[in-house]
Amino acid sequence: MKSALPPLADSLSQHELQTMAYTDPLTGLGNRYRLRDKVRQLAAERAADPAPFTIAIANLDGFKPINDLFGTDAGDEILCQVAHRLKACVPDGATVTRHEGDEFAFVLPLIFERSGAEKIGQMMREVLSAPYDLGDRNVRLSASFGFAVYPFAGEDFDDLLKSAETALYRSKRRGRGQITVYSSEIALEMKRATQLEQTLRNAIIADAVDVHFQPIVRISDGAPAGFEALARWIDKDLGFVSPAVFVPLAEERGFIDTLSETLLRKAAEAALSWPRDLFLSFNLSSAQLMDPGTTPNILSILRRVGLDPNRLELEITETAVMTNADTAHRIIEDLRAAGIRISLDDFGTGQSSLGRLRDFTFDKVKIDRAFVSRISTDRASEHIIRAIITMCDGLDLSVVAEGIETDVEASMLKALGCRYGQGYLFGKPVDAAATLAYLERHNMEIRHIDRLG
């Protein structure tokens, strides 16, 4: 029996079908196909005299955590509001499309060079940074941009798009709300980063990224209270690669969890050979504070290794907490419920450190070395440290001063009531075997003092 309704293709005109194929159903913007055709059309029009034009890609920073937290309906509403704002603010003749997910793309026929691209990028960034209304709440987002100018960044659609994506990726590497216009220098920089990424991935697979340990001591007598685990990588061709380079790279490229789990396993195995009253301090990344799987992953590693969760202390920075405060709050509470202590690292360098102490439950605060290094020469730094110690005493928080390098700094911190310290004065980061030797020397010193007593 025939259906009473005609097939969809028969009920729609060719024009309507083409419109559907070129339109994003959620936002009503054009899609990737419309972007492609618009670029090819412009390139064909300007082939004889290749006058420049620009394409761009915008990516919403931190959209996924908001989508996960408030649900896909809220996420869709934000995307529709973004589309509305972009259509309203782009210059005449420009085309706005939804590229994919939380990315939007533009064709800008009248933007001919870098300064014009940067200027319109700054304008769009401001437009997108205003709060988004979700009915019972407002949320804020930033956006990162990558621009590519035809024909310098590519003469066909695929090459031009790849250049814009390279520029966007560089923006994402530099942080939130960044704007990058493609250049050959940027392409070379990103190529080197990709090569380093692959070398690092291979090093992780080969178990070649190591852990070193720096003592955290009681300032009163120099006795070790625990050790902070620090990543170290020495490549056979590259030599020593700073963790300030490869740790952010792993986070940007999406495999920080693999690196972190490998390092935590190694650090926990080493800690088993220490006296049981010493703790292990380990750094969590901002990506891990946005991942609901962080707590079960950490506890699974501790169970496999056999390390008591009460001996683990996780260090987080204020920047990491601010990335997604709600998710971070749940993860921190879950970790503390399992017996793991949480330390707020680099205290005093963020924009709202005191607010973090109010909103989150921490066990320890680490005073940034920027204050400690100036304690003997700058009265303001001394007063800041005194205030932090007094405040933490009132909140029942332990305090560790980082970056102690001289006896004068240690003496002043001790006089101010700071109980714990870390820095080259007490020991540099060394590998697991050297850490055991350090502990043995300390035990010998204690036995010698006891005999003299």
d(CA 400, CA 227): 12
CATH fold of the domain at 14-182: Alpha-Beta Plaits (3.30.70)
Burial string for 103-137 (b: 16+ CB within 10 Å, else e) reads: bbbbbbbebeeeebbbebbeebbeebeeebebeee
Q: How far is CA 6 from CA 1, 2, 13, 21, in A?
A: 13, 9, 13, 20
Q: What token pair was written down for 317?
A: 């920075």
Residue 412: name the closest of 367, 447, 441, 375 by CA. 375
Domain boundaries, the chain: 14-182, 194-452
Q: What's the CA gap between 71 and 66, in Å, rounded?
A: 8
Encode pLDDT of 353-395 as tens digits.
566 676 778 899 999 888 999 898 888 889 989 999 999 998 8
Q: What percent of the chain has pLDDT over 90?
A: 63
Residue 327: enclosing H or E segment and its boundaries?
Answer: helix 325-337
For the chain, the average pLDDT equals: 89
pLDDT beyond 50 at 3? no
CATH architecture of 194-452: Alpha-Beta Barrel (3.20)
The pLDDT > 70 percentage for the chain reads 91
Q: What is the pLDDT of residues 262-302, one digit of tens each?
A: 999 999 999 999 999 999 999 998 888 888 889 999 999 99
- Provide mean pLDDT across the span 204-214: 96
pLDDT band at residue 336 using 50, 70 and 90 as cut-offs:
very high
pLDDT above 80 for 325: no
Whether the predicted pLDDT of 346 surpasses 90? no
Angle, in degrees to the nearest 10, between helices 256-271 and 294-305: 30
ω into residue 224 within 30 of 0, thus cis? no
